[in-house]
Chains A and B, each alone.
Chain A
Amino acid sequence: KAGVTQTPRYLIKTRGQQVTLSCSPISGHRSVSWYQQTPGQGLQFLFEYFSETQRNKGNFPGRFSGRQFSNSRSEMNVSTLELGDSALYLCASSVRPAGGTDTQYFGPGTRLTVL
């Protein structure tokens, strides 16, 4: 079974631009969660989608948004990029909603650099 895939793997943008990242979960998984990882703040939860509905949201500004499609693929969008948005963005999928005993399977991440 193919793992979680994320595209693109690397991205360089400039301040003020917007970016869209994509995540394809493992086949059959309906939950997709997004995380931001930075050296200073560590791993922080952005949001979770389950069956096309946002189920949970972390403490990030409204510039960060996401959505999930009927095939469970998910995208996250960051508008008006700031230097501090430079990070590794990870998505994870699971069969059932996150927070239970289901294992979350992580993708390799998208490394975003904002100049």
Chain B
Amino acid sequence: SQQGEEDPQALSIQEGENATMNCSYKTSINNLQWYRQNSGRGLVHLILIRSNEREKHSGRLRVTLDTSKKSSSLLITASRAADTASYFCATDGGGNEKLTFGTGTRLTIIP
């Protein structure tokens, strides 16, 4: 079963716009990570945020974490065509020492 639900399930935006996707999870966590997956391929790690952090930046990525609401968001600024991919949040903790992935958001950047 999946720990996280992501929303929206699919998102299409124009190149240059910002993209925001959200992740909600059910149990307490140690860390939350975001991954990107290009069509039918392996996952690429984007960023990790610890449970005691509220916000983290990496290049054009900004991640926020609200443990009281059990939710996180990933913001990609100034989107590019190469950002077209599926994005997954993954959590660990809650007694499970493994990564549990969300359902994913399919992001399409329109040139």
Interface residues of A (CB under 8 A from B): 4, 33, 35, 42-45, 48, 55-56, 58-59, 88, 90, 92, 97-101, 103-109, 111
Contacts and interface: CB of A to CB of B under 8 A. Distances in A.
B43 interface: yes
Contacts, number: 66
Contact of B99 (A45, A55, A107): A45
A18 to B, nearest CB: 24
Interface residues of B, number: 26
B88 A43 contact: yes
Contact of B42 (A58, A99, A109): A109
A40 B79 CA distance: 28
A88 to B, nearest CB: 7
A61 B33 CA distance: 28
Contact of B98 (A48, A105, A109): A48
Interface of B: 1-2, 30-31, 33, 35, 40-45, 48, 50, 88, 92-93, 96-104
A45 B98 CA distance: 8
B99 A99 contact: yes
Nearest to B91: A99
A74 to B, nearest CB: 15
Contacts of B30: 99-100
B42 A90 contact: yes
A50 to B, nearest CB: 10
